[in-house]
Amino acid sequence: MQSVFDKYPYSLYIKLIAQKIREITDQLLLDYGLNTSQAILLWHINQSIEENIEINRKFLEKTMALSGPSVTNLLNGLEKGGFISRNNNPSDGRNLSIDVTAKAKHFINDKSSALSKSEELVTEGMSAAEKAMFVSLLTRAFENVDKQLSKP
C-alpha cells in the first residue's frame, strides 16, 4: 500500500506541520498575551542573556533569520507587552541593550508553557529514542538546506 508521503513532496508536510504548530501554539499563548514568534524570540533573548551574549537587533536578525523590520516589530510587541525593556547601551550609545522583565521570567519559567505543550503534541506517542532521533533528523534537515542556501 502506498504511503501518503509517497504522493506529495516532503516540503508540503513540513509546511503543513509548521502551520498547525503555529496555530496550536498561538492558541496556547493567548493567556500570556504573546504570539509564537514573540515567544520564540523571547526565549532566544533570555538564553542569550544567560550565556552573556550581547544582544542587539543585528544579532537577532542573524540568529533568528529574520529581517530588521520583523525583529523591530517583534521587539516593539514584547516591550509593549512588558516582557522586555530596551535601554541605551552604556558602552555603545548607537545600540540598545535588551533585558527581560520579571513578567518574561515568569513566562519562561512556567513549566507548562505553550512552547513545551506544542512540542509535547508534536512528539506525542514517540519514545524517548524516537524523540531524540526526530530532533537529530530535524537538525540534519535544517543543516542541509541551510548549507545549500549558504553556497555562493
Report pLDDT for 41.
93
Residue 149 lies in a domain: no
Report pLDDT for 34.
92
Looking at residues 133-151, what average pLDDT do you find? Answer: 88
C-alpha cell at 47: 538564553
Does 15 have pLDDT greater than 60? Answer: yes
Report pLDDT for 105.
92
Report pLDDT for 81.
95
| Contact predicate 26/36, CB 8 Å | yes
Residue 140 lies in a domain: no
Residue 62 lies in a domain: yes
Report pLDDT for 5.
63
Q: Of 57 and 19, which is predicted with more confidence?
A: 19
Does 111 have pLDDT greater than 60? Answer: no
DSSP state letters, 50-102: HTT----HHHHHHHHT--HHHHHHHHHHHHHTTSEEEEEETTEEEEEEEEE-H
CATH of the domain at 66: 1.10.10.10
Does 152 have pLDDT greater than 70? Answer: no
CA dihedral 137, 140, 146, 152 (to 10 degrees): -140
Q: Could you give the number of structural domains in the chain? A: 1
Q: Could you give the CA distance from residue 125 to residue 51 in angstroms, rounded to a whole number?
A: 33
Report pLDDT for 92.
64
- pLDDT tens track for 29-71: 998 899 999 999 999 999 999 998 888 888 888 888 889 899 9
Residue 135 lies in a domain: no
Residue 28 lies in a domain: no
Report pLDDT for 85.
92
Q: Look up the domain containing 56 and give its range.
A: 33-110
Does 150 have pLDDT greater than 80? Answer: no
Residue 99 lies in a domain: yes
Residue 89 lies in a domain: yes
Residue 88 lies in a domain: yes
Overall pTM > 0.75: yes
Looking at residues 101-123, what average pLDDT do you find? Answer: 85
Looking at residues 115-119, what average pLDDT do you find? Answer: 84
